[in-house]
Amino acid sequence: MITFKGIEVKYGDFVAIKDLDLTIKEGEFFSFLGPSGSGKTTVLRALTGLSRPSQGTIMVADNDITHKSIEKRQIGIVFQSYALFPTMNVYENIAYGLKVRKMSRQAIQKTVYEIVDKIDLSREQLQKKVSELSGGQQQRVAIARALVTKPKILCLDEPLSNLDAKLRHKLRTELKMLQRDFGITTIYVTHDQEEALTLSDRIAVFDEGNLQQVGTPREIYQEPATEFVANFIGEVNKVSGNAFLSMVDATIDIDTNRDVYMMINDIDVQHSDNAIPITGIIDDIEYFGFYIKYALKTNNNEIIKFITFLDAQRAITFERGAQATVYIQPNRVKQYSV
Ligand SMILES: Nc1ncnc2c1ncn2[C@@H]1O[C@H](COP(=O)(O)OP(=O)(O)O)[C@@H](O)[C@H]1O
Ligand SMILES: [Mg+2]
């Protein structure tokens, strides 16, 4: 278990991380999600020992590591830029951390081969220079190098963002499987919502050095805790208070001076008591494999998006141009105070 308690990190006078309290569980795949400059890397640097917090403590299990040296923390790190040793071949790059530990030649070879087999690099590639490898292969080497010393925690800072979309998807799936295999507590930094939602057990969302929300992908997606999270995750419907009142056929207590946010999916498509009906015409349909995204044009010409999952039991589908009603639970209509 990793615990950040009252962590503040400064660059000169600039406070990059403010009073962070956060707990990451053993074996969890945990993501730091937020826009560029929100402080994700700064938190990771404090955890790995690359920078020192000005306040607070970081605990790993029962050990206070706030001021421990990097070497003593047993943390593997992979950065966006592969940061491999360019003059060494692939084998030497992966073996480096073991050599430093003065492991025997045979033990090093055995350990390197074990890891290489797991991460889909071939034995032939081991003798190549790192510059002869593709970006994806180089990033695999970086991951192997981080894992070979059997760290307790693996930190990945935007490890896939230099790769093209197809490779990014492939490596993302591999990473998730690797993490399951090793059961290693993993912290994954990304600015990509979809990446965080698909990979993570839980996500921490950051904005301007402040932790906005911690939750499972489903919680973050369906119940964004702040206006920032609602906007950042996307897919959320945002209408003005007045527009909302004129599209619903019910008396409902909302503040017309503030925007209304709604995440609508198939739990809102079937009629239920106390629900708020919104009626319109299906204006557009997008198919995404296991779900369908609909755009509903309301009687006051707002576009409301909602999704239905294509699970066979209760698949509800609509035709384009058909009249449709969604029934939103009142607690899923959110207004955030500023
Ligand atoms: N070495 C540094 N010196 C001064 N400011 C920095 C330094 N590193 C990061 N910052 C600032 O701290 C904030 C958080 O940066 P960072 O943790 O790198 O964000 P992220 O990883 O989310 O993109 C940003 O405003 C950034 O400009
Ligand atoms: Mg960063």
Residues 291 and 188 in one domain: no
Residues 100 and 226 in one domain: yes
Residues 157 and 223 in one domain: yes
Which residue's alpha carbon is nearest to atom 4 within ligand 1?
A: 11
C-beta 41 within 6 A of ligand 1: yes
How many domains is the chain built from? 2
Burial of 199 per CB tally in 10 Å (0-12, 13-18, 19+): buried
Which of 145, 187, 143, 215 is CA-nearest to residue 46?
Answer: 187
Distant-in-sequence, close-in-space partners of 300: CB < 8 Å, separation ≥ 6: 243, 246, 247
Residues 251 and 218 in one domain: no
Contact call for residues 307 and 265 (beta carbons, < 8 A): yes
Which ligand does the CA of 33 lie closest to? 1
DSSP state at residue 324: E
Residues 299 and 182 in one domain: no
pLDDT tens-place string over residues 272-297: 788 899 999 999 999 887 788 999 99
pLDDT tens-place string over residues 106-158: 999 999 999 998 887 888 899 999 989 888 889 889 999 999 989 999 999 99
- What CATH number does the domain containing 205 carry? 3.40.50.300
Residues 214 and 112 in one domain: yes
pLDDT tens-place string over residues 155-205: 999 999 888 888 888 888 888 988 998 899 999 999 999 899 999 999 999
> Rounded to the nearest whole angstrom, what is the distance from the C-alpha of residue 206 to the centroid of ligand 2?
11
Domain that holds residue 328: 238-334
Global pTM value:
0.87
Looking at per-residue pLDDT, the higher value among 159 and 316 belongs to 159
Residues 251 and 102 in one domain: no
Give the confidence band of 314 by pLDDT, cuts at 50, 70, 90. low
Residues 223 and 242 in one domain: no
Ion ligand 2 contact residues with beta carbon within 5 A: 41
Residues 200 and 289 in one domain: no
Residues 243 and 225 in one domain: no
Contact call for residues 21 and 5 (beta carbons, < 8 A): yes
- The Cα 68–Cα 63 span in angstroms is 10
Give the 3-state secondary structure of residue 130: helix
Residues 11 and 133 in one domain: yes
Name the domain boundary from 199, 231, 263. 231
Mean pLDDT of 23-47: 97
C-beta 9 within 6 A of ligand 1: no
Residues 243 and 226 in one domain: no
Give the 3-state secondary structure of residue 74: coil
- What CATH number does the domain containing 292 carry? 2.40.50.140
